[in-house]
Amino acid sequence: MADTSEAPQPMKDKLIIENADLQEFFKIMRDNSQTANDLIAVVREIGAMEKYLESAVNELSTIRLQLAEMQEKNDPLQNLLSNAANATQKQVLSIRDSLTELKNNFVACCKNAADAFKETGISALDNVAKFFNIKPTLEALRDNLDKGIQLNDKAITKIETASTEYHEASKHIKNIGRALIGKEPIQEAKPIGKVAKALTAPYRAENARLTAMKGCTVKAINSLSRLEERAEKPSITGTIQKYAEQIAQAKTETPAPTVALPPQSHADR
């Protein structure tokens, strides 16, 4: 289980675009197939997710710093913040694991497709979609991101609720003093203060990044769907190959035509 007592180290994973197997596969695709655009779009979205996640991991440091400051002041909100910080960090690390799994699966698909091309030639690329069965991994990542967004929303709500309750309690205490000196009571509590806004800011920032990542997963899923739809249509390569085989078979089966010689004349005899 991941240690959530302190912020995790920055991401050190190699970017997906730097992978040698991926680069080899896309070189083959550029040279031999018209279906590369959909897969390039998937790689582009995974690359964007890598950047958003790195920012999300870095944002955890801000949350941890806030918590340390609250603990030093022995602030009554420290327990609430500690629970929220641990839950958010655990979820972000789980999202990082999900993204790593997605990257590994995608690279493995690229390698399998490239190996198939080397063994059977261009016909292996007629249905590239069959090599890229990564929708379940993308959907799992999307669901994991939803959980992270919900956790941050809960943290924001709890902090704002605690702030409201604090201001309500403060209003009652002030009203007791005002009543003793004959002043009218304060009717409205103060709105959410600067401290609450500062405490919720990193959770809102986390949500912005996780929401952006979720958008990337949706785009990647859509690109794979287009690839699958393209695979259901007759392949140009397959059609050409089919007609070439039919022509070759027709030449083999049809006997060579005989040429009739003209009859000899009496002069030739």
Chain mean position to CA 64: 25
* Separation of first and last alpha carbons in the chain: 106
Q: Which pLDDT score, from 0 to 100, does residue 213 have?
A: 97
- Conformational region of residue 182, where left means phi above 0, alpha means psi within -120 to 50, and beta covers everything else: left
Tell me how far apart the alpha carbons of residues 106 and 217 are, in angstroms, rounded to a whole number.
Answer: 13
Which residue's entry shows tokens 């609430």?
A: 80
How many C-beta atoms lie closer than 10 Å to residue 178's C-beta? Answer: 13
**pLDDT tens by residue, the chain, 269 residues:** 344 556 565 556 789 999 999 999 999 988 777 788 899 999 999 999 999 999 999 999 999 998 888 888 777 778 888 999 999 999 999 999 999 999 999 999 999 999 999 999 888 888 888 999 999 999 999 999 999 999 999 999 988 887 766 545 454 455 455 455 656 655 555 555 677 888 899 999 999 999 999 999 999 999 999 988 877 765 544 544 554 555 556 556 655 555 454 555 555 55
Is there a contact between 82 and 67 (Cβ–Cβ < 8 Å)? yes
pLDDT of residue 12: 62
What pLDDT is attached to residue 261? 47
Angle CA 226–227–233, to nearest 5: 95
Cβ neighbours for 216, distance < 8 A, ≥ 6 positions apart: 45, 46, 48, 49, 52
Domain segments of the chain: what residues? 16-253
User: CB within 8 A of 178, min separation 6: which ones?
Assistant: 184, 185, 186
Question: What pLDDT does 24 receive?
Answer: 94
In the prediction, which pLDDT does 2 show?
43
At 213, list the tokens.
């990542």
